[in-house]
Structure 1
Amino acid sequence: MRGYQERQGEDRDVTARDHLAIGLLVMAVVTGLGGVWPADPLSPTQWWFVVSGIDLVLCGALLALPVHQRSTQAVVIAGVVVSAVLVSTCYSAQGVVVFALGFVVAGQFAAYALERRRAAVVAGVVVAAIALSATFAPAAVHPVIVVASAAMALLSCWLMAEQTDRLRRQARTDHLTGALSRGAFYERAGDVVPGALRRGTPLSVVAFDVDDFTVVNARHGHLGADDLLADLAAAWRRMLPPAAFLGRVGGDEFVAVLPGTGEADARRWARSATSGRVLSSSAGVATLRPDDTVRSLLDRADVDLFAAKDARRALAGNV
């Protein structure tokens, strides 16, 4: 496929990692300042410097570890736990409250950067950190403040997760056809194809292209052609077998990925998908080989698609 980008999902995780690294660096500086300029003369400042150093170590470890949601989640949880230990030494209520706000920010980051399941684990750790650190701290913290902080953490994390999910769904779905958007398609294919290679299970892709779409636009107008294209994509989506998915990778170009499907079954499915439709379309099929990458697999489907289009034109007497 033209202009293919293989690392869409990893790019997103790299961005989240960089944001977290900046956050840890800021926390290290702020915590270090808390040791230099303590809010209470009884405060054990040596622990502030220790936690500041740990935040710096976590920042370095995060940048050194492979980019993955597991490592991001682990670093967030470690940062929250270490900060909770520090809060338990606070002699002033204001220190407890300030760190509680920091815990809330950590939960919000998890809701923004991590999958729901991982974000929920971090939210649970955040609530536990707020409650336990305030309970064991020498400072007198009113229970209402603890409950309010925990409730604020849960509510803000939930709102952030809901908004992030909504924006991601919008970004992942083509608004006209309901198929996966180009970036979301390549991200999912980048997960599914290597998985099939590891397991040694069959997988095929079917590349679709509407025949003479410029003529369709001229005949029906752009809005009418869009309606026909949406109906065609909806029909393809209804036909998809379990675990299969469809992506729109160009104006009238679509690709279906069929996990667990060999070449013969994929070609039968492609013939069924392209026959008896209002819009005429051609299809190209490629089946996963042991030495394939996502790109080579899609390139072979492209070649097969162009061969099918040439054969259609030859049959129609146009070449």
Structure 2
Amino acid sequence: MARILAWCRRRELPAAGWPLVALAFSGSVFAALGAALPSSAAADVWVYALTSLCCAVLGVGLVLLGSRMPGWLPQTLVVVAVVVIAYFSAAVPDDAGALLPTFEYAALAAYCAYFFGRAQTRCHVAFMSVCLLAALLVGDRPAPVTVWFIVTTTIAAIAEVQGHLVSQLRRQARHDHLTGLLNRGGFEQEAPRLLALAARSSRPVAAVVIDLDGFKRINDDLGHAAGDRVLIDLAASWRDRVRDGDLLARYGGDEFVLLLPDTTAVEAQALLDRLRDGHAARWSAGIAEWDGSSRLSDLLWHADRALYQAKESRGRSGLQAVDEDAAAAG
């Protein structure tokens, strides 16, 4: 068993892959239970057994795919699973046994809420609701509307509550709790998309690294509450002055980064002048213009080097410098 688990860990499935594997194997178990029910007809036993085998093979196939699993596959498998579950709910002769497959709907709703967007999840839940009602009516189950209402409201509640919690957790993971700006992790998730878009359209991008001047002295002399207030007010002022498409993040401590699409280094300097007008705090900045191909880390390194040059040139006096080598690097 330990060797099997170690082999599975090496497959490097995407985040959405392992829950699909678990759902596939649980579907195999449910189908096997359907075959084992005393009320199952001989013909039904073969259908259940074949479905159980197919689910098991699907689970193994997903593991074998590993990192090669295409992005469209999870959505497709959810739709197929909903139809298969509805079929078994209608086909099982025993009324109590017919409800057994519907437990998989709750698991699918939780899966959708975690890995898909809210709109996509609601579409899947609506599809589950339609398929369940059809299965109950085709199977001639007692009180089909009541059963449908109870099951549908349950899976909808699971999807909505989990979707809300997941969106909150993801926001907290991506945003700085003090300023509300993107944190380092959130910035490093969004920035590559912006650079990829700029590369396709051959548009300029400027990176800015900002460091507050004398911030340690504020904390030492006035206390950390005063330092926090400066960060909050400064972030609010900057947020009002940057464009909607600009990425502004608190990178750590008193350091901030800006990624400015459709902006040259010269235009970035003009933007920084506007930022200075909004708050009395003093800060230094380094600017680097993207060369169109280098990595985000290299771009930020050039901006950080320009920041160092700004601080060294005339002391800590609210300067900004441009790394002239950044645009030419490649």
Correspondent of 2:312 among 306, 310, 313: 310
Aligned-pair identity in percent equals 26
Which whole-Å deviations, capped at 9, do the CAs of 1:100-149 have from their partners, x for residues lacking one? 22112211221122111222222122212211222223655632112221
Partner of 1:14, secondary structure, is coil
Matched to 2:40, the amino acid is P
- Write the mapping of 1:66-81 to structure 2, written as runs, cut at 5 A: 66=68, 70-81=72-83
2:10 matched to 1:48?
no
CA distance, structure 2, for counterparts of residue 47 and residue 215 of structure 1: 75
How many equivalent residue pairs?
303
Displacement, 1:231?
0.8
CA distance, structure 2, for counterparts of residue 66 and residue 306 of structure 1: 43
Displacement, 1:276?
6.3
Matched to 2:74, the amino acid is T
TM-score normalised according to structure 2 size: 0.82
- Write the mapping of 1:8-47 to structure 2, written as runs, cut at 5 A: 14-35=14-35, 37-42=36-41, 44-47=44-47
Partner of 2:37, secondary structure, is coil
Matched to 2:190, the amino acid is R
2:287 matched to 1:285?
yes
Q: Is the 8 A contact 2:213 2:283 kept in 1?
A: yes
CA distance, structure 2, for counterparts of residue 219 and residue 120 of structure 1: 53
Partner of 1:208, secondary structure, is strand
- In structure 1, stretches of 5+ residues that fail to align are 1-12
Q: Is the 8 A contact 2:213 2:316 kept in 1?
A: no
Q: Is the 8 A contact 1:103 1:130 kept in 2?
A: no
CA 240–71 in structure 1, closer or farther in 2 if over 3 Å, else same: farther
- In structure 2, stretches of 5+ residues that fail to align are 1-12, 319-330
The Cα RMSD (Å) is 2.5
Displacement, 1:17?
2.5
CA 256–66 in structure 1, closer or farther in 2 if over 3 Å, else same: farther
CA distance, structure 2, for counterparts of residue 183 and residue 39 of structure 1: 55
CA 67–116 in structure 1, closer or farther in 2 if over 3 Å, else same: farther
- Write the mapping of 1:1-319 to structure 2, written as runs, cut at 5 A: 14-35=14-35, 37-42=36-41, 44-63=44-63, 64=65, 66=68, 70-137=72-139, 139-140=141-142, 142-274=144-276, 277-313=279-315
TM-score normalised according to structure 1 size: 0.85
The ranges of structure 1 where at least 4 consecutive aligned residues each deviate by more than 6 angstroms after the TM superposition are none
Which whole-Å deviations, capped at 9, do the CAs of 1:141-173 have from their partners, x for residues lacking one? 632112221222222212221222222222222
